[in-house]
A and B are shown apart, each in its own frame.
Chain A
Amino acid sequence: MATGHAEHHHGPATGFTRWLYTTNHKDIGSMYLWFSFAMFLLGGVFALVIRAELFQPGLQFVDPNFFNQMTTMHGLVMVFGAVMPAFVGLANWMIPMMIGAPDMALPRMNNWSFWILPFAFTMLASTLFMEGGAPNFGWTFYAPLSTTYAPASVTFFIFAVHIMGASSIMGSINIIATIQNLRAPGMTYMKMPLFVWTWLITAYLLIAVMPVLAGVVTMMLFDIHFGTSFFSAAGGGDPVLFQHVFWFFGHPEVYIMILPAFGVVSEIIPTFSRKKLFGYDSMVYATSSIAFLSFIVWAHHMFTTGMPLAGELFFMYATMLIAVPTGVKVFNWITTMFRGSISFETPMLFAIAFVVLFTCGGFTGLMLAIAPADFQYHDTYFVVAHFHYVLVPGAVFSIMAAAYYWLPKWTGNMYDETLGKVHFWLSFVGINVLFFPQHFLGLSGMPRRIPDYALQFADFNMISSVGAFLFGFSQLLFMFIVLKTVMGGKKATAQVWEGAEGLEWTLPSPAPYHTFSTPPTVK
């Protein structure tokens, strides 16, 4: 425990207590990233159960109730267990090194934020083995499916959400305090790397909306166990109220999962284009605008739930406005590459795929934003295709790009470039085979979250499932590449990438256990 004097260990402790008791941002970052990868595999297994069932029409492997549990758990585990912790892990590793700070602002609380997660997800996963089964009401847990008609395990789901929310809030407070307070002398806000900027705004969004999520699950808890009627019209409440409060959390949540990805890509593209990022200031303003807009568009998830016409119109136009700052970003990335001297290492491949495929996902988002058209697309596979395009080749690809980009800095070893490219192409092909046909399925009317479908959807579903297994199993290659790099390989230089700029590249590779105990001066 704390020894009470200011002695500093210069290397890590040994044994598993190094990880259990650590206060080091790099250790905690690594734990977040490994935890996230474990959850990615778990959520991936759930997804493969879904795609195996949908390989052919009819019921093959699982009963419909279990299928619903799989869609629910897949969504929850991927959103809260895989994507969010991965970005927090990257923030932990990179933000102190990028702004010249000795560590995160509140190192002990940092470790608390992490260690809550294994407890939360163990509890959530344990519901699969409970009587009545795991939550089966979809990751959006709409009332009354999640209240009146929910399995008993919903109570554990609620508490799991509570504590993972506490973890997120503490993590975000830490990140904001670090960025506000621990920047090296001379690093003004407008000199911060874009990854730091996007995380500053993400952390703000998290602190603003995670409590709202806690509020909505608390109301569910009271409806289920204490006889209140928030979401029951028989008592004067309204199930639609659930959707409003949930999506007030849920829409900013979507940007929580994509803004740090924008930051990662804004680091990688300039490096491999050997040019400065085009339009740094506009990137910052665009990110802030997206964050602001994220608070006033939530009801576009509810066009078919029913709301007054004025509401439909307001939320439709506000949603379309988001295309403007997002467009600014895409144009900036492309302009950064324009006339650059580009090389195509694995991180760059993932980053370029991100720009192209995320833009596809953005365009389908625009289609969905059109209220009258959404009446047709709502709750079809088109929606599934849309948000998987922004989340998988969007968020997940950016995380993989970040892993390849910074692995040499973390481990001191270069990853195997050939294997990295093989992993990229397998993932790239897999993802498109998996999700592209789902657009057609949705447009022709296949509903989401149903284990069986009409015969005319059979071919596209089969193709999609093949892509799913290709993408899923390719990730084992990713694990292999990362492990191989951790164990050894060609030594990396401090600079690692010829065109890379920023404080993290002034540190040796691997970065020493403690860095920037004395802040550098930024000119």
Chain B
Amino acid sequence: MATPTKPSNVNGVDQPYYVPDQSKFPALASLGMGLMVFGLGSMLNDMKADVSSTVSSMMAVLGFAVLGTVLFNWFATQIRENHEGLPGPQLKRSYVLGMYWFIFSEVMFFAAFFGSLYYVRNFSVPWLAGEGDKGVSNMLWEGFQGSWPVISNPNPTLFTNPNESMAWRGFGEALHYLPLWNTILLLSSSVTVHIAHTALKSGNRKQLIGWLGATVLLGIVFLFLQVEEYAEAYSELGLTLNSGIYGSTFFLLTGFHGFHVTLGAFMLGVMWFRALRGHFKPEDHFGFEAASWYWHFVDVVWVGLFCFVYLL
């Protein structure tokens, strides 16, 4: 096959697929990632062994800084290339597909935790309490009561019992129930980001900036309330990571969700600055779309969390 003499015709647009030149980003990003995880691992081990973790934590921070710097420049390059018109419509479809599949991988990540919650609630805790075929495991801790949330652990000396769970406290308490407020906040943020998107598509930058800014603010308020909730859990309810399986599943699910909200809010924040600079066009704004899809995804996860971690 000879080298091309004229550009190809893809979906009616004359252009070849843009293949970037050599790039230092991937190798440097891998270096940063490697340093970061090696540092983190050493740090955790140092802390467990009760030795100084200064060197290892420096290494983790350095790795994080390298990774962050590389990613910043990588995205900047990507944006510049887009302004120069290098990616054609076909490459943009690759971005869209990439983001879809990335979100699918995130769905599966949470699925592992939701699945674990399901298994624990429906199988292993009842079995520990003596139910069913496998109820023989009740001989391990006789008298263990298998109700959810597990407030008294099989072995309370290894895993301290919480005083109270985060479960729904009835309609009387609804106004003081933070998770309910958080649900309202996140659901409205999904609406605001959608309005922002509509504004962007109709070329109304002012509205875009306003509604996108509102979305980021809602996200930040959500995170504040989440921190507030964690503080209450630790100081008042005695609910910690060490509170047995209820605390474990509660903090892992809400914690990873919170981490994803942080990431999503950061992404939307970046998009807000890009909107200020006039980066987006009504027909070309993949960065914004990707961030908003991600945001809708973290919202959906929260609805799942609110149902299965808090209410039911």
Q: What is the minimal beta-carbon distance from A170 to any residue of chain B, in angstroms?
A: 9
- A112 near B25: Cβ-Cβ < 8 Å: yes
Q: What is the minimal beta-carbon distance from B13 to any residue of chain A, in angstroms?
A: 13
Those of A103-128 within 8 Å (CB) of chain B: 103, 105-112, 114-116, 118-120, 122-123
Cα distance A176–B97 in the bound complex, in angstroms: 8
- B98 near A229: Cβ-Cβ < 8 Å: no
A98 within 8 A of B: no
Give the residues in chain B near A176, CB-CB below 8 Å. 97, 101
With a 10 A CB-CB cut-off, give which of B38, B105, B134 has the most chain A CB atoms.
B105
B130 within 8 A of A: no
- B30 near A238: Cβ-Cβ < 8 Å: no
- A234 near B159: Cβ-Cβ < 8 Å: yes
B120 within 8 A of A: yes
Q: What is the minimal beta-carbon distance from A112 to any residue of chain B, in angstroms?
A: 4
B132 within 8 A of A: yes
Cα distance A359–B74 in the bound complex, in angstroms: 47
B37 within 8 A of A: yes
- A2 near B21: Cβ-Cβ < 8 Å: yes
**Contacts A159-B37, A214-B109, A235-B154; is A21 near B27 (CB within 8 Å)?**
yes
B196 within 8 A of A: no
- A106 near B105: Cβ-Cβ < 8 Å: no
Q: What is the minimal beta-carbon distance from B46 to any residue of chain A, in angstroms?
A: 10
Give the residues in chain A near B183, CB-CB below 8 Å. none
Q: What is the minimal beta-carbon distance from B147 to any residue of chain A, in angstroms?
A: 11
**Contacts A23-B19, A181-B93; is A234 near B155 (CB within 8 Å)?**
yes
Contact of A155 among B1, B29, B45, B111 (CB under 8 A): B45
Q: What is the minimal beta-carbon distance from B122 to any residue of chain A, in angstroms?
A: 12
A101: nearest chain-B partner, CB-CB = B17
A173 within 8 A of B: yes
Residue-wise, chain B 143-163 has the 8 Å CB interface mask toward A (1 for contact) of 000000010011100110000
Give the residues in chain A near B98, CB-CB below 8 Å. 105-106, 109, 173-174, 177
A331 within 8 A of B: no
**How many chain A residues have a CB neighbour from B under 8 Å?**
102
Cα distance A162–B1 in the bound complex, in angstroms: 41
B3 within 8 A of A: yes
Give the residues in chain A near B86, CB-CB below 8 Å. 6
Residue-wise, chain A 151-165 has the 8 Å CB interface mask toward B (1 for contact) of 010011011101100
- B105 near A211: Cβ-Cβ < 8 Å: yes
With a 10 A CB-CB cut-off, give which of A118, A172, A517 has the most chain B CB atoms.
A517
- A518 near B34: Cβ-Cβ < 8 Å: no
A221: nearest chain-B partner, CB-CB = B44
Give the residues in chain B near A166, CB-CB below 8 Å. 33
- B97 near A181: Cβ-Cβ < 8 Å: yes
Cα distance A307–B155 in the bound complex, in angstroms: 23
Give the residues in chain B near A1, CB-CB below 8 Å. 22-25, 77
A269 within 8 A of B: no
Chain B contact residues (Cβ within 8 angstroms of A): what range? 35 or more
- B30 near A112: Cβ-Cβ < 8 Å: yes
**Contacts A102-B17, A119-B31; is A21 near B22 (CB within 8 Å)?**
yes
- B30 near A23: Cβ-Cβ < 8 Å: no
Give the residues in chain A near B8, CB-CB below 8 Å. 517-519
A225 within 8 A of B: yes
Residue-wise, chain A 221-243 has the 8 Å CB interface mask toward B (1 for contact) of 11011111110111111101100
Give the residues in chain A near B242, CB-CB below 8 Å. 227-228
A236: nearest chain-B partner, CB-CB = B245
With a 10 A CB-CB cut-off, give which of A152, A177, A240, A506 has the most chain B CB atoms.
A177
Cα distance A229–B162 in the bound complex, in angstroms: 14
Those of B26-70 within 8 Å (CB) of chain A: 26-27, 29-31, 33-34, 37-38, 40-41, 44-45, 47-49
A203: nearest chain-B partner, CB-CB = B101
Cα distance A306–B124 in the bound complex, in angstroms: 12
Contact of A219 among B1, B3, B20, B116 (CB under 8 A): B116
Those of B94-108 within 8 Å (CB) of chain A: 94-95, 97-98, 101-102, 104-106, 108
A180 within 8 A of B: yes
Those of B128-146 within 8 Å (CB) of chain A: 128, 132-134, 137, 140-141
Q: Say which one of B246-254, B282-290, B292-300, B302-310 lies at the interface with A.
A: B246-254
Give the residues in chain B near A307, CB-CB below 8 Å. 134
A24: nearest chain-B partner, CB-CB = B19
- B27 near A111: Cβ-Cβ < 8 Å: yes
Q: What is the minimal beta-carbon distance from B105 to any residue of chain A, in angstroms?
A: 5
Cα distance A20–B29 in the bound complex, in angstroms: 12
Residue-wise, chain A 1-24 has the 8 Å CB interface mask toward B (1 for contact) of 111111111100100011011110
Q: What is the minimal beta-carbon distance from B155 to any residue of chain A, in angstroms?
A: 4
Contact of A112 among B29, B93, B137, B251 (CB under 8 A): B29
- B105 near A210: Cβ-Cβ < 8 Å: yes
A445 within 8 A of B: no
- A212 near B153: Cβ-Cβ < 8 Å: no
Cα distance A308–B4 in the bound complex, in angstroms: 63
Q: What is the minimal beta-carbon distance from B10 to any residue of chain A, in angstroms?
A: 8
Give the residues in chain B near A107, CB-CB below 8 Å. 19-20
**Contacts A155-B45, A234-B159, A308-B134; is A207 near B108 (CB within 8 Å)?**
yes
Contact of B23 among A111, A163, A230, A237 (CB under 8 A): A111
**Contacts A8-B19, A234-B158; is A112 near B26 (CB within 8 Å)?**
yes
Give the residues in chain A near B112, CB-CB below 8 Å. 211-212, 214-216, 245, 248
Q: What is the minimal beta-carbon distance from A344 to any residue of chain B, in angstroms?
A: 31
B240: nearest chain-A partner, CB-CB = A227
Q: What is the minimal beta-carbon distance from B88 to any residue of chain A, in angstroms?
A: 11
What are 12 pairs between A and B in contact, CB < 8 Å? A105-B94, A115-B26, A119-B34, A123-B37, A155-B41, A156-B41, A176-B97, A228-B241, A229-B248, A237-B124, A241-B120, A306-B134
Interface pairs A-B: 9 shortest CB-CB: A215-B112, A119-B34, A236-B245, A235-B159, A238-B124, A234-B155, A211-B109, A228-B248, A518-B4
- Chain B interface residues toward A at CB < 8 A: 1, 3-8, 10, 16-27, 29-31, 33-34, 37-38, 40-41, 44-45, 47-49, 74, 77, 80-81, 84, 86, 90-91, 93-95, 97-98, 101-102, 104-106, 108-109, 111-113, 115-116, 119-120, 123-125, 127-128, 132-134, 137, 140-141, 150, 153-155, 158-159, 240-249, 251-252
* Inter-chain pairs besides A105-B97, A166-B33, A176-B101, 10 sampled, C-beta below 8 Å: A108-B20, A110-B26, A112-B26, A120-B34, A173-B101, A227-B241, A236-B128, A237-B120, A308-B134, A517-B16
